[in-house]
A and B are shown apart, each in its own frame.
Chain A
């Protein structure tokens, strides 16, 4: 039981530390990804609209 107590304790604290780092990286990177995604979709939307107008 001593082994498992120590193992899970180290596992818990290391995992939480790793997650805290991941949270910061993903929060910042994800924000910029959202801007890019919306810009791309808006551009596609505009292109489709202009193609429709050309057809008319």
Chain B
């Protein structure tokens, strides 16, 4: 049974459509209005570095608490049960430690860089910046490639619109609105809209959780998961569920999300001072926790709800098998559309769709500025004027928008969306983390070591299920030797991470930077 044959009766009515349209038009209007405050590239990309603590926290959480996060997290809750909470736990602990120690983010802010590849140039040279920038942009754009699919499934689940035609029209319209206000407004409008998203969505979430508990009963939720999933539904170390390697990988992903991923780092770089950077990360640890935790819980509630619904159960929880990735993504919106009354479902959907736009605008801005500042501008010897850079950034935003529209509708997911996100992001973040950690804290880290780590990190692509399926002559012998049925994305990620670190150290020891190269870096600084 697939999506096409699924009919969902939802509480989403005409009133809700009006709320959604009015809300979206209002936030686009605000974005366009704020354009008057954008004077230069710095205002466009890092809001003139004028973010106060609370606004920085709101915008950091607002960006990360997008519809896509809600969708992939609820899917993890649906498939993994309470054990999925360990991902939220890891994210919070790691973010708080980064806030306490200032690990990576404080020295980055002190260097006054706008992007991570800019750090590569200051530490390793211009060629490393261009190469690292290309990998970062490629990985980042691929990472956001599934956003549109997640968004479209949300619209499908909540509204009950099953026609493919309607869905494509809505998603194209949404993307057009995102492109409009991102191109016109830049970071100043992004931070203010993120703030609005943060407030609306957080309130919506808290109400949804309260209603879910009141409707299903907390004790019933726990017992239903225990009966259906056993110990694996609670214990993250249980081999039937996530297992040790997955938990370790999630701690690394927690560090990447807050300290290495460009959209988070750009917030640190936008802060008024290094003291505020630490404060932002300590406060945001609760946001990083909750952005996963509440959607996991809603996913668990969707699981329990569907378990007791004879009409939906065959679609989402077929006998003797698992639902495919698309169906488990659809579970939470279907549950919300049946739980929340008309009016409230409109507000929550508007918040979710606005969050979808908010995430898109932050990511579009982020990857387009990386392409402009870290790839094209250094190729021209940094002779591009501020106006040209602004124009280029806007052109890249448009091109990336077109790409994600095509990729989102075409790529066969084949695994949990979170695992796709983690592994596509790891193509950059494994190398990025290694370069940042060693580049900031180890004087001997060299250019050759940096190249080796970046290239090795790219091999994380092997964690994607379609890649493994399309290259059986590589992966089947490995599986046979190891005696396993499947190579999990967590194992691929950990192996690539260890290799990148080892190769950076070896490369730096065997091929240290020449005195001439070191001198040129000092001159640049």
Contacts and interface: CB of A to CB of B under 8 A. Distances in A.
Interface in B16-72: 34, 36-37, 39, 43, 47-48, 50-58, 61
Contacts of A32: 52, 54
B92 to A, nearest CB: 8
Interface string A22-56: 11011111111110111011101100100000000
B234 A8 contact: yes
Given A8-B234, A23-B202, A41-B50, A30 B287 contact: no
Contacts of B52: 29-30, 32-33, 36-37
Given A19-B290, A25-B54, A33-B55, 13 more contacts: A1-B235, A4-B82, A4-B234, A4-B235, A5-B82, A5-B222, A19-B287, A26-B198, A34-B55, A37-B51, A37-B52, A45-B36, A48-B39
B226 interface: yes
B283 interface: yes
Chain B interface, DSSP helix/strand/loop, else mixed? helix
A36 B192 CA distance: 12
A30 B222 CA distance: 37
Given A1-B226, A11-B89, A33-B55, A41 B203 contact: no
Given A27-B58, A37-B47, A15 B293 contact: yes
A43 to B, nearest CB: 10
Contacts of A42: 37
Contacts of A12: 85, 293, 297
A40 B50 contact: yes
Nearest to A18: B286
B235 A37 contact: no
10 contacts: A8-B82, A8-B234, A15-B286, A19-B206, A23-B199, A29-B54, A30-B198, A33-B51, A37-B47, A41-B39
Contact of A26 (B34, B58, B89, B234): B58
Contact of A20 (B206, B218, B226): B206
B231 interface: yes
B433 interface: no
Contacts of B191: 37
A30 B289 contact: no
B209 interface: yes
B168 to A, nearest CB: 35
Interface string B109-131: 00000000000000000000000
A23 B202 CA distance: 7
Contacts of B58: 26-27, 30
B294 interface: yes
B195 interface: yes
B57 A26 contact: yes
B54 A30 contact: yes
B347 interface: no
Nearest to A8: B82
